[in-house]
């Protein structure tokens, strides 16, 4: 399996005023920018994600009131391995921006942007579920699609598609369920898995 290419290298000379403004305002935190196929993209240092997102929402020239999507990409083999991706949209300015931050596998954590956009809640939970990225300061960081006992994070590139999960004992969801489980066991069906 080949590692994903680092796409931030291309088209370094992105001349869009919005990208320029961000580069000026966050001289150290903005790592790279590009505008591949007219998608404005800014790569930032993960430590300053909350500060930059707050600025992007509140600054009148940016005015990104919508957080459309949060996800991650696993560039296995490269360092840092993971990239957390935020897609923003501004209703007033009618423009879009992609914000990216590289996070290392050994320290897979980044600040949650739930204080900036309430909608980050489920999106970050999904990213945690699928990639294992820990969003610090998230009010309720638990798996969203998969069950608690699921082992691993399925969208990582080293998680095989056909991998099977160990069977999980039935959860105690009330007396009725426990009684039915006992009945099944007596009748020789084995425990509920």
Partner 1 sequence: MKATAAGSESSLTRDLHAEPMQIQMGPSHPSTHGTLKITLQLDGERIVDSDVEVGYLHRGFEKECESGEYYQAIPYTDRLNYASPMINNVGYCLAVEKLFGVTVPLRAQYMRTIACELSRMSDHFTCLGAGALELAALTPFLYCVQAREHMYDLHEALCGARVTTNYVRIGGMQSDLPPGFADLCRQKVAAALALFADVDALLTKNPIFRDRMEGTGKLPAETLIGYGVTGPLLRAAGVPLDVRRAQPYLVYDRLDFDVPVGTAGDNYDRYLVRVEELRQSARIIEQALRDLPDGAVDVDDPRLRLPPKGRVFNRMEELIDQFKLVTEGIRPPAGEVYQAVEGANGELGFYLVSNGTGSPWKCRCRSPSFSNTQALRDMIRGALLADVVPTFDMINMIGGECDR
Tell me how far, at minimum, the Cβ of 122 lies from partner 1, in Å: 5
Under the phi-then-psi rule, with left for phi > 0, alpha for psi from -120 to 50, and beta for the rest, what region is 137? left
Residues of this chain that bind partner 1 (CB under 8 A): 2-5, 7, 10, 36-37, 39, 41, 65-69, 71, 73, 85, 87, 89, 91, 94, 96, 98, 117-119, 121-123, 126, 130, 144-146, 154-155, 161
Q: For 59-154, where are the alpha helices, taking DSSP H only?
A: 120-131
Q: Give yes or no for a contact between 54 and 39, defined as CB atoms under 8 angstroms apart.
A: no
| Rounded least distance, CB 186 to partner 1, Å | 27
Shortest distance, position 188 Cβ to partner 1, whole Å: 28
**Residue 119 backbone phi and psi in degrees, to 5:** -70, -10
Closer of 4 and 132 to partner 1 (Cβ): 4
Residue nearer to partner 1 on the CB measure, 30 or 67: 67
Shorter beta-carbon distance to partner 1: residue 3 or 178: 3
- Torsion angle in degrees (nearest 10) through CA of 161, 98, 95, 123: 50
Name the minimum Å distance from CB 117 to partner 1.
Answer: 6
Cβ contact 83:73 at 8 Å: yes
């Amino acid at each position: 399996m080949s590692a994903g290419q680092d796409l931030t290298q291309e088209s370094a000379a992105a001349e869009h005023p919005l990208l320029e403004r961000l580069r000026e305002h966050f001289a150290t935190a903005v790592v790279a920018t590009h505008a591949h196929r007219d998608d404005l993209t800014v790569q930032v240092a993960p430590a300053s994600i909350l500060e930059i997102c707050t600025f992007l929402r509140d600054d009148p020239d940016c005015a990104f009131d919508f957080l459309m999507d949060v996800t991650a990409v696993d560039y296995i083999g490269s360092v840092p391995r993971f990239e957390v991706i935020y897609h923003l949209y501004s209703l007033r300015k009618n423009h879009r921006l992609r914000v990216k931050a590289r996070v290392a596998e050994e320290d897979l954590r980044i600040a949650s942007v739930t204080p900036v956009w309430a909608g980050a809640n489920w999106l970050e939970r999904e990213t945690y579920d699928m990639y294992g990225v820990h969003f610090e300061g998230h009010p309720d960081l638990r798996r969203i699609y998969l069950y608690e006992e699921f082992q691993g994070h399925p969208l990582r590139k080293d998680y095989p598609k056909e991998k099977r999960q160990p069977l999980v004992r039935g959860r105690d969801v009330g007396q009725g369920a426990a009684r039915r489980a006992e009945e099944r066991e007596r009748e020789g069906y084995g425990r509920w898995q």
